[in-house]
Amino acid sequence: MIQIPVGLQLFSVREALAKDFAGTLQSIADIGYQNIEFAFHNIREDGTFEVDYTAAELKAMMDKLGLQVVTSHVAYHPNLDLDAVIRYNAEIGSKGIVMPCAFFRDREDAVELAKWLNASGRKSKEAGIQFYFHNHFHEFQEFDGQTIMDILLEHTDPELVQIEFDTFWALRGGVDPIAFMDKYGSRIGLLHQKDLAPSANPVNLLEKVSGHLTDEVVFSAANQEDFTEIGAGVMDIPSILKKAEELGTVQYIIVEQDQTVKGELASVKESFDNIQRLLAQ
């Protein structure tokens, strides 16, 4: 039996939350989730951090439902008001801040982002909050024979910047998730898990796109039908979970269903049930 706790990235139920925030959180708790990762994507042009609920209001909702905020995704902005982000996360009880995405024209872009990650990680750590970088597939594009992920990890301090490793997106970048976990295991503090539909073709999206991978290119590369619930696809999730346990650094396995052909709540329930079964084996 694998003892790593499971969480849910709320981006998975974004449409349901927009319609009924409190009711959707209740449904998530009813499914059995206890750990939550928020997705705060509203950042003003000047870097101001915007939220729909005060920290006190949000924490009260979480406490009432028995939900714990473990981390929060906060959209990147070069002038992000990180002090406000840290205060908010501390007040809601979040243990981590995750930068979920960035885009790169060349190697220098990656090196520059690494500097920003280090500075953000240092400020977060001083407040008792861990800072993470989350991958998609395009960070496995190569510049001068080195992947963007390798560049980022080479130029960031392991004490300041950890990885929230999305195994699905790594696979879609042509990377074996287990091999990556073996290579960078000490940097991986969180795991994102979903599954890859058997019909996905090509698996490696870098065979499909190239050049300057903008947000429009990246997020249009995968089809909705490529995503499926944990246990319904072709990923070797039992081996990934076993490796996560072996590493000893992974604090949470976080379910994230970026897209689904099913209803959002039905999707995250199926993934919850299936991952609990796999963890118990």
pLDDT the model gives residue 115: 98
Contact predicate 250/190, CB 8 Å: yes
pTM value?
A: 0.97
User: Tokens 């009813």 appear where?
Assistant: 30
Read off the pLDDT of residues 232-259 as tens digits, 9 standing for 90 and up. Answer: 999 999 999 999 999 999 999 999 999 9
Confidence label for 205 from pLDDT (cuts 50, 70 and 90): very high
Residue 152, judged by CB atoms within 10 A of its CB (0-12, 13-18, 19+), counts as buried
Q: Is 262 a residue whose pLDDT tops 90? A: yes
What whole-number percentage of the chain has pLDDT above 70? Answer: 100
Contact predicate 71/40, CB 8 Å: no
pLDDT the model gives residue 104: 97
In this prediction, residues 263-272 reach a mean pLDDT of 98
Domains and CATH numbers, the chain: 6-280 (3.20.20.150)
In this prediction, residues 165-192 reach a mean pLDDT of 98
Strands 146-147 and 142-143: antiparallel
Confidence label for 45 from pLDDT (cuts 50, 70 and 90): confident
Q: What value does the mean pLDDT of the chain take?
A: 97
Beta strands in the chain (DSSP E): 6-9, 35-40, 68-74, 96-99, 130-134, 142-143, 146-147, 161-166, 188-193, 195-196, 227-228, 252-255
